[in-house]
Amino acid sequence: MYFEEAIRVLLGNKARTFLTIIGLIIGVFSVISIEVLGHSMAGSIDESLGALADNSFIIFPGSFQGNFARAAMRLSDLDAIVAEIPNVTAAVPLGGMRVLMRHGHNIGNLTLFSDSSDPFAKQPLAFGRNLSPDDISGTADVGVINWKTYQRLFPQGGDPTGESLYAGPHRYVIIGVLAEPRRGALNATFGGDVSIPYTTYLRQYVRGDRIFAARFTVRSADDMSATEVAVIKKIRDLRKVGSDVRYQTFDKAQFTQGVNGIFSAVTVVVGLIGAVSLVVAGIGVMNIMLVSIAERTREIGTRKAIGARRGQILWQFLIEAALMSSLGCFIGMALGLLVGGVINDVFIVKLTGYTAPLPFVQAFLITTVFAAVVTFAFGLYPAFRAAALDPIEALRYE
Amino acid sequence: MNNDTLAIDLQRITKTYKSGSLEVPALQGVDLRIQRGEYVAIMGPSGSGKSTMMNILGCLDRPTSGTYRLDGEDVSHLDDNALAAIRLRKLGFVFQGFNLLPRTDALKNVALPLFYAGVSTRERNARATETLREVGLADRAHHKPSELSGGQQQRVAIARALVNDPAVLLADEPTGNLDTKTSADIMALIDQLHAGGRTIIMVTHDENIARNARRIVRLLDGKIVSDDALGYEKVGDANLL
């Protein structure tokens, strides 16, 4: 009944209702469309990095320094770090080198890369499977090749799993092929051309216990940067080198910083536009509610004479304000999702090679909060005024 | 005199409006008793306290002093919400300007008091339909006020006043906005309601309209100056002044 009457009133003044909610439409539209874009940016990063990226980082010697060799880590360092730095739960040695590889008559000078069964990057497979824990523990002579390598060594196509790959004296059975990477400026690729178990790599290529780099897994991602500092300090202590020996770290935060930097400025500006237009629109809603109440003073008087209680009058006008706010906010939401989705498909996909599904739930929650805020901040006062009208005065009102 | 049969019992009612430091007396000790089933017209020139009387009878306002019993219940000192509840249960209003909700059909207009009383939709519609039939508008249930003539609109308003089966029907210049022919129709309808046992109080300044009632109470300067039974039937001992 309340809704029915509110709809009747709003439809009875279509032009007025529309003009009143334009501000809400614009405000919510801008906030939601930015939400959509931000969501797909963040989504594209999560999409290209595996779950492991959330709680692990890589440390390797800085490339530009006097004595690069002094910065090399030792395998034994890793055990010490896991044992002594509480936040580090695991460490995996990483290494890579260029080797000449052959399959049949096809030859390539390729990067061999050591990896664990839990890769940093989340890359889908075209054929076969990833490295398994059994491959690692069994130091298996197996490898996963990337798409570029697959095209180089298998120009005729077909499933290459089970085929052999030769590198000098070593032979690797291909167990998987990474799918063609997505196109997109921000879409980084990880790893080398051929990934083999790091245990196999250590056995075949590492002389003594010198390793190139390592990946560390942490218990709590919140303390990631502090842990990175602690690990580097530990390495310097163990290697007995000073701060002139440089190490670099790589983690997800560094990867997302660039993207977020561009985006946070835009978000702040659009957020401000949204907030200002919401306040202005809210004042418009309040104004039109007051006008509507003034116009309907006699009606309110009649309702009170008939026996409507204060609360019932208040409720009626609050629902009218809620309906008007919701109408504006949800039209804004629909437009925001629509335009955000189009920008996603036309522009963002070129940048990231990825389109996130539209954030319907977040958009709905944001919109509901906006509608509720406008209703209560700007609809409550007019509704109170209506409820407080004296029935005798109201009935006499011309 | 049996108090149980009294619809209205006003005892030494006064009402004083404060305007700055000035006190304006609108009613100065009014006593009035109206039996159930009576049909009374209240008359008086403007400034006589007629409107104030109507507001107090209609529980829209409280007396400054005195006691008002409506249908056996003392309503002299109730708060706003309690008065609203009394209006909802015991009173039906008919206004000069009909005061129907625009763009809302006759049925929904009539059902409005039942909505405020918390009656279910199904029962609201059933009772509103029945009441519309009583005022002869069963076939206009889904017409909006703008599609109805003045007389029909007033019938809808009367149906709205009756739908909660009130103890007293209060009509404030019910024919003030109607032509002579339509006025006669409406007065015939009110007469018919009276014949059906309704208690009716009508405020008017029109002598001819007032003559439809069975008793005329005249106010002047906030006091009852005459209280006469008319024709047809004898009105107990209500004439106390």
Q: How far apart are CA A285 and CA A372, in angstroms?
A: 13
- Span of A65-79, A217-231, A299-313, B204-218 with lowest mean pLDDT: A65-79
Query: Would you say B20 and A351 are in contact if contact means Cβ atoms under 8 Å apart?
Result: no
Residues contacting A354, CB < 8 A, separation 6+: A40, A43, A44, A47, A48, A182, A184, A187
Q: Which chain A residues are Cβ-neighbours of B113 within 8 angstroms?
A: 306-307
Q: What is the per-residue burial (b if ≥16 Cβ within 10 Å, else e) of B89-101?
A: bbbbbbbbbbbbb
Query: How many domains does one find in chain B?
Result: 1
**Residues of chain A positioned with their CB less than 8 A from the CB of B84:** 304, 307-310
Residues contacting residue A226 through CB under 8 Å, at least 6 positions apart: A87
Inter-residue long-range contacts of A376-380, CB under 8 Å, 24+ positions, other chains counted? A377/A282, A378/A282, A378/A283, A378/A285, A378/A286, A378/A289, A378/A321, A378/A325, A379/A285, A379/A286, A379/A289, A379/A317, A379/A318, A379/A320, A379/A321, A379/A322, A379/A325, A380/A318, A380/A321
Q: What residue in B sits closest to A389 (Cα-Cα)?
A: B80
Does residue B164 belong to the interface with chain A, where contact is any CB pair within 8 Å? yes
Please tell me the predicted confidence (pLDDT) of residue B231. 66
Please report, for residues A6, A18, A19, A287, A292, the alpha-carbon distance to residue A13 in angstroms, rounded to integers and kept in the order given: 11, 9, 10, 15, 10
Would B164 be classed as within a structural domain? yes
Residues of chain B positioned with their CB less than 8 A from the CB of A307: 84-89, 91, 113, 116-117, 164
Listed residue (B80, B160, B145) closest to B113, CA to CA: B160
- Same domain? For A35 and A161 the reply is no
Closest C-alpha among A256, A267, A277, A279 to residue A340: A267
B97 and chain A: CB distance < 8 Å anywhere?
Answer: yes
Full DSSP string of B152-217: HHHHHHHHHHHTT--SEEEEESTTTTS-HHHHHHHHHHHHHHHHTT--EEEE-S-HHHHTTSSEEE
Residue B241 pLDDT: 40
Residue B151: closest CA among B124, B121, B174: B174
The answer to whether residue A393 neighbours chain B at the CB level (below 8 Å) is no
> How is A310-379 classified by DSSP, letter by letter?
HHHHHHHHHHHHHHHHHHHHHHHHHHHHHHHHHHIIIIIHHHHS--PPP-HHHHHHHHHHHHHHHIIIII
Q: What angle do CA A103, A105, A109 make, to 5 degrees?
A: 60
Do A179 and A147 form a contact (C-beta atoms < 8 A)?
A: yes
**Of A252, A287, A314, which residue is a domain's last?**
A252
Which of A122-136, A201-215, A276-290, B222-236 holds the top average pLDDT? A276-290
pLDDT for A185 equals: 53
Q: Is the pLDDT of residue B230 over 90?
A: no
Q: CB of B79 within 8 Å of any CB in chain A?
A: no
Q: Is B131 on the interface with A (CB under 8 A)?
A: no
Contact assignment for A306 to B116 by CB distance below 8 Å: yes
Give the residue on A whose Cα is nearest the Cα of B103: A8
Domain limits at A64?
Answer: 52-252
- Residues 267-326 (A) with a CB less than 8 A from some CB of B: 298-299, 301-312
* Per-residue pLDDT band at A124 (split at 50, 70, 90): confident
R_g (Cα) of chain A, nearest Å: 32
A172 and A265, same domain (yes or no): no
Task: Indicate yes or no: CB of B160 within 8 angstroms of CB of A312.
Answer: no
Tokens of A204: 């075949």
Q: What pLDDT sits at residue B140?
A: 93
Residues A214 and A324 grouped into a single domain: no
Specify the pLDDT at position A313: 95
Residues 6+ apart with CB under 8 A from A169: none
Label residue A158 by pLDDT band (50, 70, 90): confident
Asked if B61's CB is within 8 angstroms of A392's CB, the reply is yes
CB-based contact, B116 to chain A, within 8 Å: yes
Q: What is the pLDDT of residue A310?
A: 94
**A191/A125: higher pLDDT:** A125
B113/A304 CB distance under 8 A? no
The residues with which A61 forms a beta bridge, in sequence order, are: A247
The share of chain B scoring above pLDDT 90, in percent, equals 85
From CA A293, how far away is CA A383, in angstroms rounded? 8
pLDDT at B199 over 90: yes
Residue B238: per-residue pLDDT: 46
pLDDT of residue A213: 84
pLDDT of A126 reads 87
- Is B99–A302 a contact, with Cβ atoms under 8 angstroms apart? yes
Q: Does B81 touch chain A (CB under 8 A)?
A: yes
How confident is the model at residue A188, as a pLDDT?
53
Judged by CB atoms closer than 8 Å, whether chains meet at B81 and A12 is answered as no
Q: Provide the percentage of residues in chain B whose pLDDT is more than 70.
A: 94
pLDDT at B3: 62
- Whether residues A310 and A377 share a domain: the answer is yes
In a domain, B69, yes or no: yes
**pTM exceeds 0.80:** no
Which residues have a Cβ under 8 Å from the Cβ of A353 and sit 6 or more positions away?
Answer: A44, A181, A182, A183, A184, A186, A187
Shortest CB distance from B101 goes to which of A299, A307, A392?
Answer: A299
Question: pLDDT tens digits for A85-114?
Answer: 888 888 888 888 888 888 888 888 888 888
pLDDT at position B236 over 80 = no
Same-domain status, A217 and A156 = yes
Q: What 8-state DSSP symbol labels residue B64?
A: S
Please indicate whether, in this complex, the C-beta atoms of B99 and A299 are within 8 angstroms of each other. Answer: yes
* Contact at CB, A308 and B116, closer than 8 angstroms: yes
As a whole number, mean pLDDT of residues A67-88 equals 82
Looking at the domain assignment, is residue B178 inside a domain?
Answer: yes
Least confident residue range of A47-61, A107-121, B112-126: A47-61
C-alpha angle with apex B188: B187 to B194, nearest 5 degrees? 90
Q: Give pLDDT tens digits for A142-153.
A: 999 988 889 888
Domain that residue B42 falls in: 3-229
**Looking at the structure, do residues A39 and A103 belong to the same domain, yes or no?**
no
Q: Rounded CA gap, A165 and A110, in Å?
A: 11
Query: Are A312 and B116 a contacting pair at CB < 8 A?
Result: yes
Q: How far is A40 from chain B (nearest CA, A)?
A: 47
Q: How far is CA B169 from the centre of its chain?
A: 4
Contact B96, B154 (CB under 8 A): no
Cα dist from B73 to B15, B64, B66, whole Å: 20, 18, 14
Pick the last residue of a domain from A252, A279, A298: A252
CATH number at residue B98: 3.40.50.300
A122 pLDDT tier (thresholds 50, 70, 90): low
What pLDDT is attached to residue B237?
46
Higher pLDDT, B222 or A271: B222
Domain count, chain A: 2
**Chain A residue numbers touching B91 (CB-CB < 8 A):** 307
Instruction: Give B129's strand partners.
Output: none
What is the arithmetic mean of pLDDT over A160-171? 89
Q: Judge whether B239 lies within some domain.
A: no
For residue A302, the chain B residues in CB contact (below 8 A) are: 93, 95, 99, 101
A395 touches B at CB < 8 Å = yes
The answer to whether residue B81 sits within a structural domain is yes
* H or E segment and range at residue A178: strand A170-178
Give kind and range of the element (H or E) at residue B10: strand B6-19
Whether residue A98 is found in the same domain as residue A137: yes
Contact B85 A309 (CB under 8 A): yes
Distance CA A275, CA A386 (A): 28
Q: What is the model's pLDDT at position B147? A: 96
Q: Give the model's pLDDT for residue B20.
A: 84
Higher pLDDT, A265 or A324: A324
Chain B residue numbers with beta carbons less than 8 Å from the beta carbon of A299 are 99, 101
Chain A residues in contact with B86 by the CB 8 A cut-off are: 307
Give the angle subtended at the CA of B49 by the CAs of B11 and B25, to the nearest 5°.
Answer: 80
Residue A50 has a pLDDT of: 54
Q: Could you tell me which residues come within 8 angstroms of residue A38 by beta carbon, excluding any fewer than 6 positions away? A: A263, A267
Looking at the fold, whether A85 and A41 belong to one and the same domain comes out as no
User: Is residue B91 pLDDT above 80, yes or no?
Assistant: yes
Report the pLDDT value the prediction gives residue B33, as an integer from 0 to 100. Answer: 95
Q: Per-residue pLDDT averaged across B142-147, rounded?
A: 95
For residue A309, list chain B residues with Cβ-Cβ distance below 8 A.
81, 84-85, 116
As a whole number, the mean pLDDT across chain B is 91
Shared-domain flag, residues A22 and A123: no
Span A296-323, average pLDDT: 95
Three-state SS at A115: strand
- Residue listed under structure tokens 């204060």: A310
Residues A320 and A246 in one domain: no
B164 φ/ψ angles, rounded to the nearest 5 degrees: -95, 15
Could you tell me how far CA B68 lies from the centroid of its own chain?
15
Q: Is B47 left (phi over 0), alpha (psi -120 to 50) or beta?
A: left
User: Does residue A91 share a domain with residue A138?
Assistant: yes
User: CA B23, B25, B31: angle at the middle one, nearest 5?
Assistant: 150
Q: Are A277 and A246 part of one and the same domain?
A: no
Interface test with A, best of B101, B122, B160 (most A CBs within 10 A): B101
Mutation for B interface: A297, A306, A312, A398, most B CBs within 10 A: A306
